Chain A
Amino acid sequence: MTTLQMVRKEPAAPGLDVERIRADFPILRLQVNGKPLVYLDNAASSQMPQQVIDRLVRYQTTQHANINRAVHALSEISTNEYEQARRKLQHFIHAREEREVIFTSGTTDAINLVMHGYGRKFIGPGDEIILTTMEHHSNIVPWQMLAEEKGATIRVVPINDAGELVIDDYEKLFNERTKFVSVMHVSNALGTINPVKQMIAFAHARGVPVLVDGAQAVPHMQVDVQDLDCDFYAFSGHKLCGPTGIGILYGKAALLERMQPFKGGGDMILSVTFEKTTYNTIPHKFEAGTPPIAAAIGLGAAVDYLSAIGMDAIADHELGLLNYATAQLSRVPGVRIIGTAKNKAAVLSFTVDGVHPHDIGTLLNQEGVAVRTGHHCAQPVMQRYKLPATSRASFAFYNTLAEVDALIAGIRSVQKVFS
């Protein structure tokens, strides 16, 4: 059988024992429609290893109380564990200080925090904000809301046919009115890895701060916010083997301190009277109300888990999967890969002649193969390629070459139904 042959050809990343890793993920043992689950929707949300599940259970079983409040034992433990998770995230993205790491509910919340905290204070009428064609709706809509409120303008960096940003055009968009750049690190719809370090350096030379949406980058590669020199970096926990409802905004301390709070409430204040409220210091200024404590601690456990495997080993393995899947898919007649950037993460968007992505999704599901179909919350990308939707297989470090084979076999059987 081809499949067995492919399993033997697994040496994508020596040192990554995929079968042992898979044993950590109980959900990967599921059967869907009588077939082993082939989970290829990791760009939407990744699965959780037993280590993180256990950590959540341990927290709820023995450590839970509200943080930063009472003097009793549990409150002290939960506060310490929550702040310990913050330090784990700080080290994971190589932030200089732990107070530069703010817990949010996710990437969307993090971007909205910057829009309200920075944008509404420092961006005014006639100012310009640079975005790119490939942005996720969560990195478009908040800036449109700001532009509408302030009378600012959105400028958009185009992409070429391969799905790469046209950097010459990016540089030409800058003028004296440019006040902010917000760009994704890795495209969820195309897989493109953008040259954000270079883009940040260019913006900084003109005094313009940059937010990087790292939702699709952090789970798949080593990210060093100090090396990138980004001003803000946003990502989500649930794409990183962590729980939903938790995410991170990294921001340079000097900027965070100048920003206004996003949400008002408990924890984000030092003192409150009806005449005057004094805000707390960062990061607490941006963490109003009781945070998702368990989710934050779970995310801490998730980055421990990923660090133990090694982000470089993860990136190597995923590149092996991408290269193999790209080669195999390219051989299927009638299939077109959308997003062929030279520098790509393990995201494979594609169309099949004569078959709508939703029909592909339904029929692949019958084979146990989970892919995303639709516009991927990136409608401007779909408009750029004049497509209503694509199918997308997105890989994680726990995926195997045999699973790529299952995807390819599934696509061939879809074509057979529609032939």
Chain B
Amino acid sequence: MTDPRALYQEVILDHNKKPRNYGTLAHASHQAAGHNPLCGDHIDVALHLSGECIACIAFQGASCAICKASASMMTVAVKGKTRAEAETLIHEFTDMSTGKLDLSGDHHIGRLVVFAGIADLPVRVKCAILPWHTLHAALNAVESTSTEAELDPMHVTIGDA
């Protein structure tokens, strides 16, 4: 197993300490609450769609450093992107977290690559993908979701990780 200390690198620790886009949105068009019942972590994601474009996005909640940094970097990554671009990134991030994304191929991961090491820590994969999972729920008008949700396409993936 890779040394998990490699995961707790500067970028992640920085986003944990100073999360970007942290808080609530006054006029959100889409929002969802995500829960990880295994650890009690929860995260709220709110965004405003202007046409197909994510004009603004915010998150808040109580979670570990991995989850909070993932949420923070997610908001930075999807702000200004279209709904379809965000869904693509959600998919790619989930695949990367479970070791299924070919990082040498075509993808849009960019700076999010700092989370690639999470694939070596199966018990922490859910922490990293909870924000993405919640964003997916918000974009699809699901108000509440969980890492254990039956219809969660990521659920099976995690179990196989």
Residues of chain A at the chain B interface (Cβ within 8 Å) = 33, 355-359, 362-363, 365-366, 373-375, 379, 382, 388-389, 417-418
Contact = CB atoms under 8 A, between A and B. Distances in A.
B158 to A, nearest CB: 15
Contact of B65 (A356, A366, A379): A356
Interface in B48-75: 62-66, 68
A165 B121 CA distance: 39
9 contacts: A357-B64, A358-B124, A362-B124, A363-B4, A366-B3, A366-B5, A374-B39, A382-B40, A389-B40
Given A356-B68, A418-B65, 14 more contacts: A356-B65, A357-B64, A358-B64, A358-B127, A362-B4, A363-B5, A366-B4, A373-B39, A374-B38, A379-B40, A389-B40, A389-B41, A417-B8, A417-B13
Given A374-B38, A375-B39, A418-B13, A388 B3 contact: no
Contacts of B39: 358, 373-375, 389
Contacts of A375: 39-40
Given A363-B8, A375-B40, A417-B13, A358 B66 contact: yes
The 7 closest A-B pairs by CB, nearest first: A356-B64, A358-B64, A388-B62, A375-B40, A359-B65, A374-B39, A359-B64
B1 interface: yes
Contact of A362 (B13, B42, B121): B121
Contacts of A379: 40
A359 B5 contact: no
Contacts of A33: 1, 3
A359 B66 contact: yes
Q: Is the interface on chain B under 10, 10 to 19, 20 to 34, or 35 or more residues?
A: 20 to 34
Contacts of B1: 33
A373 B64 CA distance: 11
A362 B65 CA distance: 11
B65 A355 contact: yes
A388 B40 contact: yes
A99 B8 CA distance: 55
A389 B63 CA distance: 9
Contacts of B41: 358, 388-389
Chain B's interface: helix, strand, loop or mixed, by majority?
mixed
Contacts, number: 51
B126 to A, nearest CB: 10
A373 B65 CA distance: 14
Contacts of B127: 358
A54 B138 CA distance: 55
A355 B42 CA distance: 16
A359 B128 CA distance: 12
B122 to A, nearest CB: 11
Contacts of A418: 8, 13, 65
Contacts of A388: 40-42, 62-63
Contacts of B66: 358-359
A389 B65 CA distance: 13
A70 to B, nearest CB: 41
A359 B8 contact: yes
A365 B124 CA distance: 12
A312 B62 CA distance: 42
B2 to A, nearest CB: 10
Contacts of A357: 64
B104 to A, nearest CB: 27
A366 B6 CA distance: 11
Contacts of A417: 5, 8, 13
Contacts of A374: 38-40
Contacts of A389: 39-41
Nearest to A356: B64
B42 to A, nearest CB: 8
A375 B40 CA distance: 7
A357 B124 CA distance: 12
Contacts of B42: 388
A92 to B, nearest CB: 34
A141 to B, nearest CB: 14
Contacts of A362: 4, 121, 123-124
Interface in B106-139: 121, 123-124, 127
